[in-house]
Amino acid sequence: MDRRIVEFDVDEEEHWRAKLECGHYQHVRHDPPLNDRGWVTTESGRRQKIGNKLNCVKCDDQAPSDLS
């Protein structure tokens, strides 16, 4: 299910993750060549992605919010 990105933060291992409007988190790692997400390494790149949608597998699975 597509959900909008509302902000970004880092987890306890210093990996970037997107906080989605549904309350779930999704990692957005820059790990070339598997994941080319150079935009996540800069504040301006992350800011430009606010409002974009990501597929939330946790919503598809009807998982509880990560914020609980």
Give the pLDDT confidence of 40-53 residue by residue, as tens digits: 999 999 999 999 99
Would you say residue 59 has pLDDT above 90? yes
Predicted confidence band of residue 35 (pLDDT cuts 50, 70, 90): confident
Count of domains in the chain? 1
- 22 domain residue, yes or no: yes
The answer to whether residue 43 sits within a structural domain is yes
Q: What is the pLDDT of residue 32?
A: 79
Per-residue confidence (pLDDT) for residue 65, from 0 to 100: 96
Query: Residue 28 and residue 40: Cα distance in Å, rounded?
Result: 7
CATH number at 12 reads 2.40.50
Average pLDDT, the chain: 94
66 within some domain: no
- pLDDT of res. 50: 98
Output the pTM of the full model: 0.89
**Long-range CB contact pairs, 59-62, < 8 A, 24+:** 59/1, 59/3, 59/22, 59/24, 60/1
Residue 68 covered by a domain:
no
